[in-house]
Amino acid sequence: MTKDPRLSQAFDFSRLLNGRGPDQSRLRFSSGDVICRQGDPADALFYIEKGRIKVTMVSARGKEAIVSVRGEGEFVGIRALIARRRSFAATALTECSLVRVKIPALVRLLREEPDFAEMFASYLVRQSIRDQQNLAGQLTDSSERRLARTLLQLADFRRNSIAGPIPTWINQTILAGMIGTTRSRVSSFMNKFRKQGFIEYDRQGDLMVHGALAKALRDP
């Protein structure tokens, strides 16, 4: 009988990726610490237990782009399954707790733990879809719409239909790097979103993103 794929959504990666298994180790980083550099050997991937990580790439001409910001429950370095060298750099944006998993250990888990393999494959598909959407947005959307989409992603709108907070360390410089524009343009768009009631700042200075921004993004 075919297993209902919805059952796999309850699988907790941390049950097996806990830093205590074979070829696993737990690493801790402070804000600003470099986790790995572009060109390093790709012999392991990282599972994020806590914190946020900035993933960047540098072109042959030396231009740096922020590819994504990854958080709790996500992976960094999945290309290590097929590549020998890192095609990106990763830097801690906050204090982070990561589990480093060597590739042989990951392969064993994929072979011996069907639930893990199913959920990991589902994660890869979702991440691929998200990357495709981001690429399409970079090619077809205006900077304003790219910023709106990025804010919703950072606020985890997919899990919470009313959106949520984005901590202060996601600043306008980081946002500009993620959407490929200047900080001054991001500032202008953020002021516009605030006046429209799509975002606000709470007493702690965290940025609150409202679900109304998603509706505005869907409207032509």
Question: With 0-12 CB in 10 A as exposed, 13-18 as middle and 19+ as buried, what is 220?
Answer: exposed
pLDDT tens digits along 92-132: 988 999 999 999 999 999 999 999 999 999 999 988 888 88
Helical spans, DSSP H, in 1-98: none
Report the SS3 class of residue 136: helix
Domains of the chain, with CATH numbers? 5-135 (2.60.120.10), 142-218 (1.10.10.10)
pLDDT tens digits along 151-206: 888 887 555 556 677 776 788 888 998 888 899 999 999 999 999 999 988 777 77
